[in-house]
Amino acid sequence: MASEQTFIMIKPDGVQRGLVAPIISRFEKRGYKLVALKMAEPSEQLLREHYADLQEKPFFPGLLKYMRSGPVVATVWEGKDVVKTGRTILGATNPLASQPGTIRGDFAIDVGRNVCHGSDSVESAKKEISLWFKPEEVFRYKPATFDWIYE
């Protein structure tokens, strides 16, 4: 079975609103494996690296301020097609365009307070995971439920 990893971050609004457990639960219920987890107060430098592609956007200063307004929860999930499916679980970037049943569709209204970040490709997931986690912080193990999830 081909497996991949994705980076999912619960942003300051998600942490402040007590949505950490419900968000993690959605990925676990789907069958994905949590391989790394930490709470952090990201530095401006880390956020500039993470959001490097957005630095020229007019909203970037506000994004930095918001992302430094409180702790975030950084996670790494592993499983078959987890990047694409993870984005589906999160819902559209604009919560008003997100389907009910998605995280953003159920828990968010404004784009600037959309609760989570999720990698948009395998390549960006690798980059984001390496920014937020040391290699030894990402665990390798086979969960007891593996054979009940995958053929």
Angle between helices 20-30 and 82-90 (to 10 degrees): 140
Euclidean distance between CA atoms 11 and 29, whole angstroms: 21
Write down the catalytic residue from 117, 118, 129, 132: 117
State yes or no: 104 annotated in a binding site.
Answer: yes
State yes or no: 145 annotated in a binding site.
Answer: no
Contacts of 46 (CB under 8 A, 6+ apart): 131, 132
Euclidean distance between CA atoms 99 and 79, whole angstroms: 23
CB–CB of 85/71 below 8 Å? no
Query: What DSSP state is assigned to residue 63?
Result: H
State yes or no: 87 annotated in a binding site.
Answer: yes
| DSSP 3-state of 33 | strand
State yes or no: 114 annotated in a binding site.
Answer: yes
State yes or no: 93 annotated in a binding site.
Answer: yes
Examine the residue annotation and report whether 117 is marked as an active-site residue of this protein.
yes
Numbered residues of the known binding site: 11, 59, 87, 93, 104, 114
Instruction: Kindly list the catalytic residues.
Output: 117
Numbered residues of the known binding site for ATP: 11, 59, 87, 93, 104, 114
